Amino acid sequence: MLKAHIQIVRAEDEYVPLYEMSFPHIEDATQAVLDHVRHKIVEDMTLSTTEILDPKETKEMKEKFIKRADALIKEYIPHLSDEKRQSLIGLLTQESLGLGPIEVLLQDMNLEEIVINSSKEPIWVYDRKRGWLKSNIIIESENKIYNYAAQIGRRVGMQISNLNPLMDAYLTTGDRANCTLFPISSAGNTLTIRKFARRAWTITDFIEDGSLSLEVAAFLWLAIQYELNIVVAGGTASGKTSLLNVLACFIPPTQRIISIEDTREIQLPKFLHWLPLTTRPPNLEGRGEVSMLDLMVNALRMRPDRIVVGEIRRTREAEVLFEAINTGHSVYSTLHANTADEAYRRLVNPPINIAAALLGSLQLIVVMHRDRRKNIRRLLEVSELIPASGLDQIRIELNTIFKWIPSKDQITQWGKPHRALNDIKLFSAMDDTELEKTLKEKEAILQWLVDNQIKDITKVGQIISDYYKDARSVLKIINYKPKKISENEQSGNHSLL
């Protein structure tokens, strides 16, 4: 891997900080040798369609390229140090098989977004702490930007051209890429890459940074365990997909999960019975499209216990989703909305336009919020949907259970859950005392995960699954000692009950 030096500086004539990346200097003679090595390797290697589309074949091809480059550089420049040679191999590999300097930006864990607006201005990056930064990297030509976009497309079987100048794809790393071509983007060709965490977010992260409280996390765990249906709403970059991912880890390992997305974002523990599906746009002839609706209809024939859908957008998709709920499947999805009330109004009005009779099968709306001034993400509210019969039709009432108080940066209990707890009691046959006991156990396990900094998604999933399998053993491991409840507190002791 090519190493680069990164520093963030401020300049008097700039309104935003500068992201300066510098590479080891390469002499002209050395560059000429690298160009020769590149042409020689390209002549020797033949790429099949399988090698382009199959991640395993692509990895093997890259390994062959590196091995061949190493041998040729040793032959042409025999006196190089190992460190210098590895640096040249990294540069050669990134320029030939990768995205050039963008590859280095992809390795920076502090960056969330990488943006190329044209070859006339530097690359912009979004740092998770500092916001937008202007880099010192300029892509040399519009054709180079197009080549990067086309390369990304080929990896996932997509094309971008003058006839099809827009492309929404993803990298093999899971990062999402959006590309546009001139003159649709009048300044030049563009490439926008949204990076996703190399380590999936877990419930430990959400509790530790204050996005969720222990009480909320335990309640949502209980809701997922006993198959309540949940829509996670929020604005752009509020963390709704990350929360959906976190909640899906609470699904018992004995159940089959099918996720349906436009681009792969969901990451679950590998041991779960999970099948991810992604949509596919049509080709240049308008054929071969696989829509979210196609996948949802097909998923119902695959005997799923739980269905996770990336985002609800249109009427027919929402109808299939709620029909799935009414046929015994538990469903989880995201929705662009800033509050629970707004989410409800989006669901019952065009373009989604779901009838209240169908919407009544949804139990919870969980809303995520991003405070842009403080650059923090918080659970804004948890509300349950309570169907109520009117004079001439079914109507839905929202009951807010938890709410975030911005002035205190505190998530508090706002009301008592009614329908959610009644449904959990129906599915689990537990009374209030047993519900209180399991909520306290869940809070203790979650606190133990935070105290012991267990953030790996598979390890977190294993603890949860072990609890389902043998609760007593897990509680013994975390040294949980329940508080004794007096005879006068036999039921309803927990604040939720």
Q: What is the pLDDT of residue 49?
A: 46
Q: Which residue has the tokens 């024939």?
A: 301
Task: Report pLDDT for 40.
Answer: 75
- Would you give the end-to-end CA distance of the chain in angstroms? 55
CA distance 447 to 165: 49
With 0-12 CB in 10 A as exposed, 13-18 as middle and 19+ as buried, what is 407? exposed
pTM: 0.79
Length of the chain: 497
- CATH number for region 5-194: 3.30.450.380
pLDDT per residue, tens digit, the chain (497 aa), is 556 788 888 888 888 999 998 876 666 677 787 777 777 776 666 655 444 455 566 677 777 777 777 778 777 777 777 777 777 777 777 766 678 788 888 888 889 899 999 999 999 999 988 889 999 999 989 999 999 899 888 877 788 888 889 988 878 777 889 999 999 999 999 999 988 766 788 999 999 999 999 999 999 999 999 999 999 999 988 999 999 999 999 999 999 999 998 877 889 998 999 999 988 877 667 788 888 889 999 999 999 999 999 888 888 888 888 888 887 889 999 999 999 999 999 999 988 988 887 888 999 999 999 998 888 999 999 999 998 865 556 788 999 999 999 999 999 999 999 999 999 999 999 999 999 999 999 999 999 999 999 999 999 999 999 999 999 999 999 998 887 655 444 545 667 87
What are the start and end residues of each CATH 3.30.450.380 domain in the chain? 5-194
- Model pLDDT, residue 360: 86
What pLDDT shows up at residue 175?
A: 84
CATH 3.40.50.300 region(s) of the chain? 203-487
Q: State in words which class domain 203-487 has.
A: alpha beta
| 483: number of Cβ within 10 Å | 7
